[in-house]
Amino acid sequence: MAVGNRLKIAICGKSGLVGSKLESFFNSMNNEVVGVKIRDDVSVEDVAAQIEKCDVLINLSGVTILGRWDDEYKKKLYSSRIDTTKKLVDAIGLCHEKPKLFLNASAVGIYDSFHSHKDGSQKYADDFLSHLCRDWEAQARRAGDFGVRNVQMRFGVIYAKEGGAMQKMLPPFKMGVGGKMGSGKQIVSWIHLDDLVKAVYFIMKTPDINGAINFTAPYPLSNKEQTKILGKLLHRPTIFPLPAFVLKLIFGEGSTVMLDSKEVYPTKLLESGFSFEYGDFEDALKEIIR
């Protein structure tokens, strides 16, 4: 894939935080960006027609992970990711001119909370989110059966000026009623949205990168440390903790996203020569709140 040429890039989930940023980035480079419609009533054949002759296919589909995980919501989390990815890969198999690269979203929630993790780590958690990610990645890897290079993007918590987790965190901190979540000891692996987009482009230009890739900044830190930095930059106290039991009441099992420790490092990206613009959390936060 000659990245210098005009590329056709198909994105499933183009309207979300990451998808819209990628669309803007690739459009600025004079590439063709198309959205992929993949609702339940869209056939595999129709999906194949949409992605025919695309150079890169990016799958970001899935309902938000931040919700109360009752049985009904778990079904939505699963079907919006696994079923959608299965349909996409089945469609790849029908294409006459297949994508040269398939990038599929995943998450650091696949890992357990007791170890630090490089990209090749197989120390997985035994909970709903980990099994969701594993099933999701298994569907994405099937693209390899059709000779398509595929990458599973294991996203950390995505921080951005445009929205996402940080924009949900900022209001209480700005009002001076923010604080740590639970014990605050849990390690947070995160990435600035600008670095995420640049990492996608870097992978497009680096053909020997494939498989599971950690999309996280090189310096994870504890929730307590994040809270301290937030307070310092906003000039606000951070003395109002959010107890774990409150998060569990609100989100149920979904509270694990905020309370479980995930210490994850972007080993493959760094070893391949990728340079983070926002490797340090304080630098990333300064850009977001300025």
**Structure confidence at residue 129 (pLDDT):** 97
Q: Is 207 in contact with 1 (CB distance < 8 Å)?
A: yes
Which pLDDT score is estimated for 1? 62
Where do the H-state alpha helices sit in 62-107? 71-78, 84-94
**What residue segments make up the domains of the chain, in order of their start?**
8-223+249-289
Q: What is the pLDDT of residues 204-262, one digit of tens each?
A: 999 999 999 999 999 999 999 999 999 999 999 999 999 999 999 988 999 999 999 99
Residue with structure tokens 């307590």?
224
Q: What is the pLDDT of residues 74-92, one digit of tens each?
A: 999 999 999 999 999 999 9
With a cut of 90, say whether residue 93 has pLDDT above it: yes
pLDDT at position 59, please?
99
Does residue 164 carry a pLDDT above 90?
Answer: no
What CATH homologous superfamily does 8-223+249-289 map to? NAD(P)-binding Rossmann-like Domain (3.40.50.720)
DSSP of 160-206, one letter per residue? -SSSBHHHHHHHHHHTT----BTTS-SEE-EEEHHHHHHHHHHHHH-
- pLDDT, residue 4, reads 65
The tens digit of pLDDT for each residue in 102-156 reads 999 999 999 999 999 999 899 999 999 999 999 999 999 999 999 999 999 999 9
| Maximum CA extent, the chain | 59
pTM: 0.96
Cα separation, 15 vs 12, whole angstroms: 9
